Amino acid sequence: MVLGIVMLIPSQSRTLLGSELIVIGVVIGGILSTLNRPSQRTDKQPRVGWLATRLLPSIVIPVLVAVAGISLIAASGGGLYWIAPAILFALIAGLANSWVLLVEILR
């Protein structure tokens, strides 16, 4: 939602939009890494499951957004085309986490 709002601002330069995307990537990366850090529970989640559901989206989504900003500023490398996989990955990760919450709420 934030990406869509920032990209719909009219009359902004390529450099400004790229800088905004880099900042959003860094901020979102910081928030996600803080929220998804491993807990101190005794019943540890399997390492592969934690990597797939928590760590991977926390890294991939902000990196793709920052790459979009960097390539937009550099005027090569794809530019805004990097936003589509970031949003797609975020949707898939959100659906997977929702499914886990739905299935495992009975435990």
Domain parsing of the chain, residue ranges: 2-36+44-104
Specify the amino acid at residue 13. Answer: S
HSE-up of 63 (CA within 13 Å, CB side)?
8
Confidence of residue 18 (pLDDT cuts 50, 70, 90): very high
* Rounded mean pLDDT, 17-30: 93
**pLDDT of 72 over the 90 cut:** yes
Closest CA to 92 of 63, 65, 52, 64: 52
